Homo-oligomer: A and B are copies of this chain.
């Protein structure tokens, strides 16, 4: 695969030509960074690009008299590749960083203050306006006058925190604050109009006391005009609704109207296929030449083609089982928060559209709706990424538990990997923040067949509520699916051994442990490997038998060590007074962003680390 980018000196030249020419160069470099990374958000980097370029060329460094330079950050955060392209082109970030998107020590998948030029961490939606308010309060106390510009998505406006943050900004007369809505009309899955329409955005912001304007977010002259108007308003916060086109700059990425019911926008996240990339690059280069002169300087490099990931896909298996359960139980209702595709819900939504409730990016509302559904006789199954579902709606999940109804929660994208999106998306706290909820059983399947079985158990085998924790990356699982039926609190021995017992869960770390066991075998250390899919339930009698004969136990948490499965095993050993020495592997610090193998290794959770730990 041949990758191409516009080098720094050519970016400098195009910057002198026009904002549009510069923006086109930045689009090329965004596309390059995402292709090299193998993932990233093209659509919204492109829709927001002209605004970001305008802010960086015309606004941030040219504040009103008496003001310090303005600050900009994105609240949605997944336009980070676009922002990095701008910052590298301007020399605010080292240029070579465009080759290091989503790599360890490179540029994180979502914004992190560890990167020069990033003022705060975002990626979990809805927090940006609140953060800006805090900055403004501090600036006022510090006697600093400065504007703060925050970009939000339009789908992001479905989050309650956005609206929670608005009135206080108006009450405090925060004229320093300008919010720009990248109104590209398409959210994660598909068109907002199909997910959860926003209604009259301008009226909404106005009702909260904000100054409102709407413009074409690709029209630099219009942006200049609005800035002049906004500069004259110091008594209230301002919002600019920038009508943009997702994928702007590449004709076939610019889809402006919703297609069929279950057709989705294809360029929200992930890298395109090589041929699609080539076509897009060709278009962008053509535009750069048209705008900047025919002598466009491009640098290129040929890298190996991406190897398509192989392995078991637990989320797909889950989604297929969901359709089967839906056929069997007419009271089963599925709820989603704009991650229908990623959560494997398309088959159910197509089969039972009347029982599929798309809530939009509104996790708290979704979880509390599940309360009402359950109280009125339905079996709600609630979906999102684990990193959003379990902390954002944590109080709501607990409140539901106090009603003692039956609800199933399903968190995908669980665990440390994929490592590319970064810490806002790596769900490594969900076990700890749910495990103590009465009547809620946490389970993580280790392979595709087990994922289907886990759902069947949650629907048919468990009279209480369940949380299913699902790995989203494909994993080449080397061990067979559990042949036993699921018995609460009991695990399955994947490999017999006498020297040491490794207990873990989920496909990622059990696979690492499986390969570690083979390596340890060669060193004369005979490993017993146990899959314990239960994350907050343990059968003490089973554990006594499972650990019979071994004096050393290693637990593996794809999660923080505190509050993970290892804690449950350790406390059970202590309560039983078993003569075993236990070592718990897991995370102790904020997860790193990078390729999956390098992230697992950096946190001491790959096969090499397991071998090292047990051969000491």
A interface list, Cβ under 8 A from B: 112-113, 119-121, 124, 126-127, 130-139, 141-142, 158-165, 167-168, 170-171, 196-200, 203-204, 206-209, 333, 354-355, 357, 359-360, 362, 364-378, 380, 388, 391-392, 394-396, 398-399, 401-403, 423-424, 429, 432-433, 435-438, 536, 560-564, 566-568, 570-571, 573-575, 577, 579-584, 588-590
Q: Is the CB of B142 within 8 A of A376?
A: yes
Distance between Cα atoms of A437 and B559 in the complex (Å): 11
A346 to B432, CA, bound (A): 35
Using A362-B164, A396-B127, A590-B438 as known contacts, say yes or no to A134 and B380 having CB atoms under 8 A apart. Answer: yes
Chain B nearest CB: distance from A489 CB in Å? 13
A399-B372 contact, Cβ under 8 Å, with A432-B432, A560-B436: no
| Chain B residues within 8 Å of A365, by CB | 130, 133, 161, 164-165, 168
Q: Are A354 and B141 in contact (CB under 8 A)?
A: yes
A248 to B374 Cα, complex, angstroms: 36
Answer whether A113 and B377 are a contact pair too, CB < 8 Å, given A136-B372, A364-B161, A571-B574.
Answer: no
Contacts A436-B563, A438-B589; A158 near B165 (Cβ below 8 A): no
Residue among A368, A369, A373 facing the most chain B CB atoms (10 A cut-off): A368
Q: Is the CB of A134 within 8 A of B402?
A: no
- Decide if B159 touches A120 in the complex (CB within 8 Å): no
Contact partner of A436 among B132, B165, B333, B432, CB < 8 A? B432
Collect the chain B residues with CB atoms within 8 Å of residue A209's CB: 199-200
Given contacts A134-B371, A376-B138, A567-B571, contact A399 B124 (CB under 8 A): yes
Contacts of A164 in B (CB 8 A): 158-160, 163, 362, 364-365
User: What's the minimum C-beta distance from A359 to chain B, rounded to whole angstroms?
Assistant: 7
**Do A581 and B577 touch across chains, with their CB atoms under 8 A apart?**
yes
Q: A131-B371, A574-B582, A575-B581 are in contact. List 17 more A-B contacts (CB 8 A).
A: A120-B375, A130-B367, A134-B371, A135-B376, A137-B369, A159-B164, A164-B364, A167-B198, A392-B394, A392-B395, A399-B424, A438-B588, A562-B568, A570-B574, A571-B582, A571-B584, A575-B584
**CB-CB nearest 8 A-B residue pairs:** A134-B372, A160-B164, A160-B160, A130-B368, A138-B376, A163-B163, A134-B369, A391-B395
Nearest CB in chain B to that of A133: its residue:
B369
The reply to whether A575 and B583 contact each other, CB–CB distance below 8 Å, is yes
- Whether A137 pairs with B364 at a CB distance below 8 angstroms is no
CB neighbours (8 Å) of A579 from chain B are 577
Which residue of chain B has its CB nearest to the CB of A127? B368
Q: Which of B158, B376, B436 contacts A134 (CB 8 A)?
A: B376
Q: Give the Cβ gap from A602 to chain B, nearest Cβ, in Å.
A: 15
Given A130-B368, A163-B164, A584-B575: A394 in contact with B396 (beta carbons within 8 A): no
A200 to B588, CA, bound (A): 47
The answer to whether B133 touches A372 (Cβ under 8 A) is yes
List of B residues within 8 angstroms of A567 by Cβ = 563, 567, 571
- Report whether A196 and B170 are in contact in the complex, using a CB–CB cutoff of 8 Å: no
Closest Cβ–Cβ distance, residue A167 to chain B (whole Å)? 6
CB atoms of A167 and B197 under 8 A apart: yes
Q: How far is the CB of A96 from chain B (nearest CB, A)?
A: 25
In the complex, what residues of B have CB within 8 A of residue A170's CB? 199
Specify which of A163, A199, A360 lies most central, judged by the most chain B CB atoms within 10 Å of its CB.
A163
Q: What would 9 A/B residue contacts be, using CB atoms closer than 8 Å?
A: A120-B371, A127-B364, A127-B396, A131-B371, A133-B365, A134-B375, A142-B376, A203-B203, A432-B435
B395 touches A388 (CB 8 A): yes
B402 close to A563 (CB less than 8 A): no
Chain B residues in 8 Å Cβ range of A162: 160, 163
Give A405's nearest chain B residue, CB to CB: B113
What residues of B have a CB within 8 angstroms of the CB of A126 in the complex? Answer: 160, 364
Residues of B within 8 A of A163 (CB): 160, 162-164
A86 to chain B, nearest CB (A): 21
Q: Which of A167, A370, A536 has the most CB of B within 10 A?
A: A167
Query: In the complex, what residue of chain B is closest to A368 when comparing beta carbons?
Result: B130
